[in-house]
Amino acid sequence: MTNRSSSDLRLGASFRDPSGFLFTRNGVLYRQINRAYQEHYDHLMSSKLYAKLVYAGLLIAHEEVDLAPEEPELSYRVIKPEPVQFISYPYEWSFSQLQDAAKATLSIQKLALEAGMVLKDASAYNIQFHHGKPVLIDTLSFEIYQEGDPWVAYRQFCQHFLAPLALMSYRDVRLSQLLRLYIDGIPLDLASKLLPRRTRFNMGLATHIHLHAAAQKRYANQVVVNTKGTRKMSKISFLGLMDSLESTTHKLTWKPSGTEWVDYYTASSGHYSSTAFEHKKKLVSKFLELLTPVMTWDLGANTGEFSRLIVEKGYPTIAFDIDPAAVEQNYLLARKDKESRMLPLIMDFTNPSPALGWHNQERHSLLERAPADLLLALAFIHHMAIANNVPLQALARYLHDLGHWLIIEWVPKEDSQVQKLLANRQDIFSDYHMEGFESSFNKYFSIREKSTIADSPRVIYLMESK
């Protein structure tokens, strides 16, 4: 991080909206509300829309504070929003997480309309998962509804939510990664081209994606002349539009199946004997008793079996996995159980989320959101070191940057999983053995505990960063 002047304390993503912006002071997050936004903010509060949304768990709560504003010439008020524990991005979400974020956006818009307000943007980045549920974090996104106006955020909703969800549902779940490339959602003409022909017979998708894309292209260079009263959109039509978007969104489905990881833990797959599995759980729990991690990252969490051990002790955990099906299953289970302390996310640790957007500062890389207090690297090391040729020392160095405490499982070459990985390739891993592992990691960590797993060649370690 370079030195910053006071004007640089404005957060990297918070610059496009003249209504206000986020800034930090002494490590605390605040939002300045500009005078330009005054009447809308006052209406949000006085109409009780704010109270309704916060009570419904749809909007992040805030308090008004007596703080010197960051830019006094523009400022109306400063508020302190409740901080979100971990910032995640739509390209890290599974299908249902993105769908729930879309549904939340539309629910918020419907409630807002009852109070005479509309959302002026429908960006997926305005939603964060807070205590396991999607909430709107942009308090300044509301503006007073003027009957007759179409929804100004319609394009954004279609690009950020509908297009990726449709692509995941109809083509391939991995297409959500296009959101990494297109920071303002997937362009509709691209989505239209990629979606199969049968989506043209789906009323909602035909209208909101295909027809919408065609209209965008057709009128891209047309002059828009401001005149009064020619064409308007009544409130009923507005409600109808919301209804149409809602049913189109709700009807999209994705069933995770047939991917390699989903069956990993079932007894029949034979990867783990149940003795080994139970003992591993006991050992992780035992190591956990020595710690009080404020934030835990489970690397390669699969469906969150071990994340749940952490979470059940009351410690918030992010359950990362490369497989969208595993993350989806984990999320659906967490949602059903109303689990508020775990957040499943999609992450490829050989290519983790980079910094994106303007000045590479709008969306933080995974590293910028590190470190965690505790890392779980169970059944992880061989996927880095063997499957992806990452040298053990490089892995140690990376994990050292990611977290302070580390519970890591050493998976030796004799293990059936490693044998599988080596089955069709040359064994070039002469340094991949326990002594090599321990000496590489000793450069960055101190080994605190070491236990062999019963009925298994694997060994579990507890390490602390040096």
Partner 1 sequence: MYFTELNLFTSLLRTQAYLDPGSGSFLIQLLIAGVVGAGFLIKAYWKKIKGLFNRSETKEEDDEQVQQ
Q: Enumerate binding residues for partner 1 (CB under 8 A).
A: 16-19, 36-37, 40, 120-121, 143-144, 146, 148-156, 158, 207, 211-212, 214-220, 222-234, 236-237, 239-241, 243-244
CB 361 within 8 Å of CB 367? no
Nearest to 165 by CA among 176, 174, 154, 155: 176
How far is 389 from 382, CA to CA, in rounded Å? Answer: 9
Map residue 448 onto helix, strand or coil.
Answer: strand
**In the complex, minimum distance from the CB of residue 246 to partner 1, in angstroms, rounded to a whole number:** 11
Nearer to partner 1, 163 or 399 (CB): 163
Contact 78, 67 (CB under 8 A): yes
CA 39 to each of CA 30, 118, 141, 203: distance values in angstroms, whole numbers, following the listed order: 20, 14, 13, 38
User: By C-beta, is 141 or 440 nearer to partner 1?
Assistant: 141
CB of 157 to partner 1, least distance (A): 10
Say which residue the tokens 């390669």 belong to.
300
DSSP 136: E
> Which pair of structure tokens corresponds to residue 207?
């209208």
* Closest-CA residue to 256 (of 362, 169, 345, 155): 169
Run of H or E including 327: helix 324-336
Compute the least distance from the CB of residue 51 to partner 1, in Å: 22
Task: Specify the residue, 5 or 221, whose C-beta has the smaller distance to partner 1.
Answer: 221
User: CB-wise, 151 or 320, nearer to partner 1?
Assistant: 151
| Minimum distance from residue 75 beta carbon to partner 1 (Å) | 17
Tell me the residue type at 422.
Answer: L
* DSSP 8-state secondary structure symbol assigned to residue 122: -
Contact 320, 295 (CB under 8 A): no
Q: Which is nearer to partner 1, 139 or 353 (CB)?
A: 139
Give the shortest CB-215-to-partner 1 separation in angstroms.
4
Closest approach of Cβ 171 to partner 1, in Å?
A: 23
What is the smallest separation between the CB atom of 155 and partner 1, expressed in angstroms? 4
Q: Report the residue number, 235 or 433, with the smaller CB distance to partner 1.
A: 235
Q: Which is nearer to partner 1, 194 or 233 (CB)?
A: 233
